[in-house]
Chain A
């Protein structure tokens, strides 16, 4: 695996990989730009105040501090307006002001109709530069974050739980190993003074890019925003290094939960970044394998269309957060990425088959390689599909900010221009270089987790049964999938309850020689 890079500006030198010398910083000690102004013909103005600060800057034991600080800034009122007054002032404007709290970045996203711009700008800048830090709002928002982890994530959203469990499995003990919202113990330990300190340390001008787009976006407007933020400290805390995740040897994490169906998320960490030379070819290949929420992917076709196993099956080259539509949310930037597979819930009887089928199909595609026809379709798809990612102004601005983060100017445009020259051989070579189903680790949310683990360890065939006839070629493949070997043994599987997840930064997978029984 490539060395895991990154140095970012941050509050602390993370001790987790004290043995590894810090890699050379990807970022210079100063931001690549302090403002980004894009023009548009739309009568709206969208803002992204992009801070290089995220949950990787949460001190150990205070997980959730950065996100909570940002929420308190965006919602909790200003020096001159209480939280209620602040909400009441935003309301008639129908203005949006929200936080995208990531692992390495925190972005305040604003959007307003241009008629109401002058009313919105002071509200936005005061929220960032003069937050009220009201104790009552602090308690309320901390309570919301705790509820979100303890109740929603652990009990009310199996798909999100599967994805979060995968992050915990891949990054146990690492700054990426817990939800950006925090951990239960971390959130409980945070004080209002911690929040104030984090604000002073991280939300500083040297970490900020002011992003604007709209008909009225101009350097004059950027100047007004900048003036409104002038009281923020010029410099923040020193560099923090992002450690390399270590492989703890656990291959499958099974989470016990009362449920009629099983959520499966698979993945592994890797050194791939969109700035890599072969990323474009890899992207073309991944789109053919498992484009998010589209009909064209091989996994979708095999698992859902031919077999009716579930609602959908997709693969991802970068950490993926779905927004309101099917396009990837911008500004979820990470210098350390993972490849992942999302198998949407399958009925418990088919869980063993679905897991094997995903591994089998990925392996088969890699072995056989994509055909020139498949590659051609995938290239044509991405050339056009990615245009829609930038149709909404705020997204377009977000992707341009991503370019500053990754050092990839005009990434999407460049990708589209590069597409015609990408060959089938390049695509297959990139897939084989970076995608390896044997490296996948499995996060499994299911009922009867122990029985399922025992079943997987026993090597017993999955023996899929259908209620309806299937084509002979499907059944022939099924016979191979049923007995597809899994690299599992007692020592590399781990059982946890939902209550054991997200409690602290590390969930105890390290050196997990003996499975939790």
Chain B
């Protein structure tokens, strides 16, 4: 599953519509965004970035593990992403791969909690081919039961490659513990038991396609060296006949947490101990300002210039590294602080130090100089992240997945610049409190005595 450092936040925004609504430069993104919507609801965001001979063609579908409300069908959005490579009558799987191969296109996809993103990146003159094969598979996907069942095994293979990593276990346990009702309770890969029974779900997969793979739930991002008028005309022609009605799904609302919860996991083998402290927090999809604050607060508390990094990593050698994550999400999510400890005895000291830093922040507010440095770091970090068409397309698509607005990234950057020390203090007081907190600890097997020895707490 993906986690993001920089996220955007925002308000739901209206579609660009035809004629094009261009965002003038002046924000953080140094190019205008040309946003148009087809009659069937498919949105197209075009960002010409000048010469270079390359173009990114990314298709965002706002469906992810968030949408998996049905018991026993966790991980389905990700599995379905795999099925999108199984072909159509015009382009069976091998022909699809061969067409993109002959065009020199780097073709892939990824799924996250709120979205599935299909990525094509290659020479600009491959765009007509890309548009043709992508329009074809989004409208005419057709796969056999056998192909479906074979692919389910490849998904299990992907899960198996992930589970050797304790970070994956930490992620699974955190979601399962912090969320009781929300579909964020499971990771994007899904629960192992559900992955194992995926081969039986052929009929459900057809329903899934009909529900979510519709033009009104999809945005195409074209970024790079191309002529917008020409590319838009090709897209309009290729996708014009696509129809479908977006389903609605009731995402279970997460009840308010009443007390701190925690879980200890015993890893199967040696590993460095880890502690993750997560707090329920508003997300990019629900509160732009809160999202902006979280983008700054993670590096403020644990970044390489922070007091905790200096103390825990550099001076005392208690932690090997510190990190924070806040993925942009549609629904309220988590603000998470993670430490990898040198050994198990360091864990309580690390937790104490983080608690104290939070208490000080709540009491006296942030250090103004460090907060300014964090803002500079985030601003220039973002600017440097747009170096290639593929990088910019990815950043725009992912940030917009939470809000539905392709301009979210710029809005977030502005909101981050406007965050004040008081905002940070108020957020810390409200959100970073014990009754809102979940702590997951992963311990190495060797040091676990007695009944838990060598057993993992998670699914296997």
B100 interface contact, C-beta 8 A: yes
Contact of B272 among A147, A158, A380 (CB under 8 A): A147
A259 within 8 A of B: yes
B270 at the interface (CB under 8 A from A): yes
Nearest B residue to A260, CB-CB: B160
Given A87-B305, A311-B154, A347-B160, A470-B146 contact (CB < 8 Å):
yes
Given contacts A94-B376, A377-B101, A391-B389, contact A310 B154 (CB under 8 A): yes
A137 contact set on B, CB distance < 8 A:
314
B85 at the interface (CB under 8 A from A): yes
Residues of A within 8 A of B52 (CB): 391
Binds A, one of B59-67, B102-110, B179-187: B102-110
A159-B164 Cα distance, complex, nearest whole Å: 9
Q: Which residues of A have CB within 8 Å of B101?
A: 294-296, 377-378, 380-381
Instruction: Compute the total of residue contacts between A and B using a CB distance below 8 Å.
Output: 211
Pick the contact of B380: A84, A116, A257 (CB < 8 A).
A116
- CB of B161 within 8 A of CB of A294, answer no
Question: B152 — which chain A residues lie within 8 A by C-beta?
Answer: 308, 468
Residues of the B chain whose Cβ atoms lie less than 8 Å from the Cβ of A116: 380
User: Within the complex, which residue of B53, B100, B108, B123 is in contact with A326, where a contact is CB–CB below 8 Å?
Assistant: B108
Tell me whether A467 and B98 are in contact (CB under 8 A). no
Report B262-306 CB contacts with A as 1/0, cut-off 8 Å: 000000111110000000000000000000000000000001110
Q: Are B388 and A391 in contact (CB under 8 A)?
A: yes
Q: How far is the CB of A419 from chain B (nearest CB, A)?
A: 11
B166: nearest chain-A partner, CB-CB: A156
Given that A92-B373, A261-B157 are known contacts, is A377 also in contact with B102, CB under 8 Å in the complex? Answer: yes
CB–CB B381/A94 < 8 A? yes
Report whether A382 and B104 are in contact in the complex, using a CB–CB cutoff of 8 Å: yes
**A48 at the A/B interface (Cβ < 8 Å)?**
no
Cβ contacts B301-341/A at 8 Å (1 or 0 each): 00111000110011101001000000000000000000000
Interface of B is mostly: helix
Give the chain A neighbours of B419 by CB distance below 8 A: none
Residues of the B chain whose Cβ atoms lie less than 8 Å from the Cβ of A295 = 85, 96-97, 100-101, 107
Name A86's closest neighbour in chain B (CB-CB): B304
Please tell me if the beta carbons of B305 and A88 are within 8 angstroms of each other in the complex.
yes
Q: Determine whether the beta carbon of A139 is less than 8 Å from that of B317.
A: yes
Least Cβ–Cβ distance between A138 and chain B, in angstroms: 12
Select from chain A the residue with minimum beta-carbon distance to B94. A301
Candidates B53, B93, B377, B384; contact of A387 at CB < 8 Å: B53
Q: A92-B373, A304-B154, A468-B149 are in contact. Are A377 and B390 (CB under 8 A)?
A: no
A151 on interface, CB distance cutoff 8 Å: yes
* CB contact list, A322-337 vs B, under 8 A: 325-326
Known: A391-B388, A470-B146. A308 touches B151 (CB 8 A): yes
B153 part of interface (Cβ distance < 8 Å): yes
Cβ-based interface call for B158 (8 A): yes
With A44-B384, A88-B305, A376-B102 already in contact, the answer to whether A157 and B97 are too (CB < 8 A) is no
Let me know if A113 and B106 touch, CB within 8 A: no
Q: Is B122 an interface residue (CB 8 A)?
A: yes
Q: How far is the CA of A433 from the CA of B418 in the complex (A)?
A: 63
Is the pair B271, A384 in contact by a Cβ cutoff of 8 Å?
no
Report the minimum CB–CB distance from B377 to chain A (whole Å).
5
- Mark out the residues of chain A between 25 and 42 whose CB falls within 8 Å of any chain B CB in the assembled complex: 41-42
- On whether the beta carbons of B314 and A140 are closer than 8 Å, the reply is yes
- Distance (Å) between the CB of B189 and the closest chain A CB? 12
Is A90's beta carbon under 8 Å from chain B? yes
Q: Which of B146, B161, B342, B390 lies in contact with A468, CB distance below 8 A?
A: B146
Q: How far is the CB of A373 from chain B (nearest CB, A)?
A: 9
- Chosen A-B contacts, 17 in total, with CB atoms closer than 8 Å, are A84-B314, A136-B314, A136-B317, A147-B272, A157-B164, A259-B164, A260-B460, A261-B161, A295-B85, A344-B157, A345-B161, A347-B156, A380-B104, A384-B122, A388-B106, A467-B199, A470-B150
8 smallest beta-carbon distances between A and B, as pairs: A384-B104, A468-B149, A308-B153, A295-B97, A296-B101, A94-B380, A308-B150, A91-B305
